[in-house]
Structure 1
Amino acid sequence: MTSAVATAGPGSSPWLSFGIRRLGRFAVSLWVLVTTAFLMIQLIPGDPVRAALGLTAPAELVNARRAALGLDDPLWKQYVDYLAGLFSGDWGTSMTTGVPVADVIGDRLPATLQLALPAFVVVIAVAIPLGLLFAVLTRGGRRRGGELAFTSTTVLLAAIPEFLVAVALVAFFAVRLGWFPVAGSEASGALVLPVIALALGPASVLSRIVRVETLSVLGNDFIRTARAKRLPARLVYLRHALPNALTATLTMGGLMLTGMVAGTVLVENVFAWPGLGSTITQSILQKDYPQVQGIVLVYGIGVLLVNLTVDVLLAVLDPRSTIREN
């Protein structure tokens, strides 16, 4: 008799319960993130407005900016106004420029996405086929030399920080060979080096995870049964082995890929990329806390969305994960 788990579909109660739990978890995490971002300014020692405007700024200007930012109001009112502002699109105002933070984010976010999304695609497109290939080639202790070369190379590449990779790429391919622009986003080919710098480490780590998980799956009985039925090798690996390997891979890979969010900050600064990463660095140096607050919130929401996407993909690959364990 077919089990309820196997027949669970998008309209069944396990999926409904799964959706409610995941959305509830997302909502709670988002509330914690928003509250932490709000408290960022409150926990800064001293007067954040004075720190942003400088010690020589006139007291009248400091008081006016504090009043404009609502920092003279009671803490509970500041929190309520902050939440209301987020829902209405008012994310605060820059202390140094007076420009709405939402406008700054709207201007810079597309550049960050232009860098991060291709890098994410490159990681997936490279890591999964590469890990699967080397799992097939080295299964059962075969090709020890290939296994050693793969492991050594991926460990080395994963250990190099993104900014060092970025600097090395600029020095060799941009400065020495002149194949790509040194910095900026306008010139032809400007996206190539930043994407490589951002994707190289995560792709190396994820390919190793895919290989290890695929080797584990290849030793299972259902794979031997599939081979005994004389199924074509590509069906055994792609239809039976890969989906089962991806279940565990996504769990670990999803956590790792969230690190790419922080990686964009370093890479953008090396390549002078006009995105949120370079903007938040400038904002920290200028002590522009509302702008830092807003950008941190955007990065945090990005991490939460990645985790939610991984949970959904895991549920699609393994419907048993939609049922709460007792």
Structure 2
Amino acid sequence: MTAAISRTHWDSPWLGFAVRRAGRLLVSLWVLITAAFLMIHVIPGDPVRAALGPSASVQLVEARRAALGLNDPLWLQYLNYLGDLLTLDMRSSMVSGLPVAQVIGDRLPATLELAGYAAALAFAVAIPLGAGMAVLTRGGRRRPAELGFTATSAVLAVVPEFLLAVGLIYVFGVRLAWLPVAGRDGFDSYILPVLALMIAPGAVLARIMRVEMLAVFEADHVRTARAKRLPQWLITLRHVLPNALTATVTVGGLLLGALVAGTVLVENVFAWPGLGSTIVQSILAKDYPVVQGVVLVYGLGVLLINLAVDVLLAVLDPRSTIRES
């Protein structure tokens, strides 16, 4: 009996799901770390000379190369790099001399705030908007409202974040002078960059939510619920909305990954003191240790978002292939 209980425990779909996702996360993380390590080696020329400039002495260049371990064999550099990451040591900036972990720690909260507020607002607006439009336009009703919604959301979905940012700055910062256009100082300074980040993904999520709800409205189990003469609001909340959320969350996870990358452009437009502006400044200054560290943080953020979406999908739909495959 004990053996049967143990076998049942090991055959749990949740355990298999956890093992698969953990293995996939580790492999993806290894690929990310390896790519970040190789970044400094695929750059033409001497990265240290490029960072220090042509006027730097040979002795200074050689000392910096030795400090970075660039004179060691490639395999030894890779092992040392992995060992440093295990101790959260990301080396030091070539420009400021500060530890890369400190630079990232100082700038990361600003980026997390910006991306977090934009993601929360995108979901908070898109899900009820898409669901409401599905209810209003179901069965071909209110055709003008449907055309207006689809046309507007399609246009907003394809406009790049930096163009939205420039447009918002011109309208609300320059013409109307209602909101600040740069910096991170007070509640008002968050409004424009958050809107610039959330408008495009919010438009896509609203379209997906509407399409999925319209499809679920025609499903057999919803027809059965109507045949039982259940109230329409109960059918929508209990039978339609949960099923439509599955696809919306899937697409939302992909959009959140793109949103994290979008912070790079938006932060530079609004002079936001986050990782996005830091990585651009580091690329221009050829500060490769900082670039490597920021790339790792952005990549890890995308991997964790994908993992969170997979877990949420498994919770929302326990019968899905995420747990059974």
Normalised TM-score (structure 1): 0.94
Quote how far apart the aligned CAs of 1:210 are: 0.8
Quote how far apart the aligned CAs of 1:234 are: 2.2
**Secondary structure at 1:99's aligned position in 2?**
coil
Using the alignment, how far apart are the partners of 1:80 and 1:64 within structure 2?
Answer: 21
Quote how far apart the aligned CAs of 1:20 are: 0.7
C-alpha contact 1:198 1:264 (8 A) present in aligned 2: yes
C-alpha contact 1:15 1:322 (8 A) present in aligned 2: no
Percentage of identical aligned residues: 66
Quote how far apart the aligned CAs of 1:52 are: 0.7
Using the alignment, how far apart are the partners of 2:262 and 2:119 within structure 1?
Answer: 12
Instruction: Tell me the residue number matched to 2:181.
Output: 182
Deviations 1:259-292 (A, max 9, x none): 1011100110010000000000001111111111
Amino acid aligned to 2:184: S
Amino acid aligned to 1:35: T
C-alpha contact 2:181 2:192 (8 A) present in aligned 1: no
Using the alignment, how far apart are the partners of 1:323 and 1:162 within structure 2?
Answer: 35
Using the alignment, how far apart are the partners of 1:119 and 1:11 within structure 2?
Answer: 40
List gaps (5 residues or longer) in structure 2: 1-8
C-alpha contact 2:310 2:322 (8 A) present in aligned 1: no
Quote how far apart the aligned CAs of 1:11 are: 9.4
Instruction: Tell me the residue number matched to 1:222.
Output: 221
C-alpha contact 1:198 1:263 (8 A) present in aligned 2: yes
Quote how far apart the aligned CAs of 1:114 are: 1.1
Instruction: Tell me the residue number matched to 2:205.
Output: 206
Instruction: Tell me the residue number matched to 1:268.
Output: 267
C-alpha spacing 1:247/1:188, structure 2 compared with 1 (3 Å): closer
Instruction: Tell me the residue number matched to 1:315.
Output: 314
Amino acid aligned to 1:50: R
Aligned residue pair count = 317
Using the alignment, how far apart are the partners of 2:232 and 2:199 within structure 1?
Answer: 29
List gaps (5 residues or longer) in structure 1: 1-9
Name whichever of 51-60 and 268-277 sits farther off. 51-60
C-alpha contact 1:155 1:204 (8 A) present in aligned 2: yes
C-alpha contact 2:137 2:145 (8 A) present in aligned 1: yes
Instruction: Tell me the residue number matched to 2:282.
Output: 283
Amino acid aligned to 1:38: F
C-alpha contact 1:17 1:322 (8 A) present in aligned 2: no
Quote how far apart the aligned CAs of 1:252 are: 2.2
Instruction: Tell me the residue number matched to 1:3.
Output: none
C-alpha contact 1:14 1:322 (8 A) present in aligned 2: no
Deviations 1:25-50 (A, max 9, x none): 11110111011111111111110000
Quote how far apart the aligned CAs of 1:253 are: 2.4
Using the alignment, how far apart are the partners of 2:259 and 2:187 within structure 1?
Answer: 24
Amino acid aligned to 2:124: A
C-alpha spacing 1:79/1:196, structure 2 compared with 1 (3 Å): same
Using the alignment, how far apart are the partners of 2:226 and 2:10 within structure 1?
Answer: 35
Quote how far apart the aligned CAs of 1:233 are: 2.2
Instruction: Give the RMSD, CA atoms, in angstroms.
Output: 1.5
Using the alignment, how far apart are the partners of 2:93 and 2:189 within structure 1?
Answer: 29
Amino acid aligned to 1:121: A
2:199 is the counterpart of 1:192: no
C-alpha contact 2:314 2:323 (8 A) present in aligned 1: no
Quote how far apart the aligned CAs of 1:322 are: 4.1
Normalised TM-score (structure 2): 0.94
Amino acid aligned to 1:314: L
Instruction: Tell me the residue number matched to 2:246.
Output: 247
Using the alignment, how far apart are the partners of 1:313 and 1:288 within structure 2?
Answer: 38
2:245 is the counterpart of 1:256: no
C-alpha spacing 1:187/1:256, structure 2 compared with 1 (3 Å): closer
Instruction: Tell me the residue number matched to 2:69.
Output: 70
